[in-house]
Amino acid sequence: MMKHKTWAAFGLAIAFSATISALVAQASNNGAGAKVSTVFSRDLPKLDGGHLAAKIVEVTYGPGGASSPHSHPCPVIGYVLEGAVRIQVKGEPEAIYKAGESFYEPPNGIHQVSANASDHEPAKLLAYFICDHDTPLTVPIAGGK
């Protein structure tokens, strides 16, 4: 049974890769002057592929807005759409990411800071979750730290 799930996940990954490659080739050759560039690339932790799911969540922070400390059971790739966000995962330095920049959060890392870097302008990001099981995307941290 596990072999079938692994092969199904492998097939899904190949199909996804082929679709993306075709879209990149089409955009590159469409004559409309499309520019295609990789903005993020990182190896992911081993996933069993049994219940593979990808989810994209839009997060909008008002001026000065922030999230409470939390964790994500799955790896997360963030892409800032507008404004700038402050991010810190426990054990790593705090960083500010601006519109057009990406960041990575490992699974189960404690997300100590997730906030708008501005007190005057809104900020918006997309969070891409890649999970191999049905689980909540965000888990609150008891005691806030």
Q: What is the pTM of this model?
A: 0.69
* Residue closest to 87 by CA, chosen among 78, 100, 96, 79: 96
Instruction: Write the pLDDT tens digit of every residue in 128-141.
Output: 988 776 777 888 88
**Structural domain harbouring 114:** 40-144
| Strand duo 70-71 + 102-105: pairing | unpaired
Give the pair of three-digit tokens for residue 89.
């995962």
Instruction: Provide the 8-state DSSP code for 11.
Output: H
Same domain, 99 and 57: yes
Instruction: Provide the 8-state DSSP code for 20.
Output: H
Instruction: Write the pLDDT tens digit of every residue in 65-104.
Output: 999 999 988 888 899 999 999 999 999 999 999 999 999 8
Same domain, 97 and 57: yes
Based on the structure, what is the number of domains in the chain?
2
Same domain, 64 and 10: no
* Mean residue pLDDT across the chain: 78
Same domain, 21 and 61: no
Give the pair of three-digit tokens for residue 44.
């992911």
pLDDT at position 14 is 47
Asked whether the predicted pLDDT for residue 108 surpasses 80, the reply is yes
What's the CATH number where 89 sits?
2.60.120.10
Same domain, 31 and 57: no
Same domain, 30 and 95: no
Same domain, 4 and 62: no
Please report which confidence band the pLDDT of residue 15 belongs to, taking 50, 70 and 90 as the band edges.
very low
Please identify which residue in the block is written with the tokens 């404690």: 110
Same domain, 71 and 113: yes
Coil/strand/helix, residue 25:
helix
Instruction: Write the pLDDT tens digit of every residue in 26-39.
Output: 555 555 677 666 76
Rounded distance, CA 34 to CA 26, Å? 9
Contact by Cβ (8 Å): 73, 107: yes
Same domain, 2 and 48: no
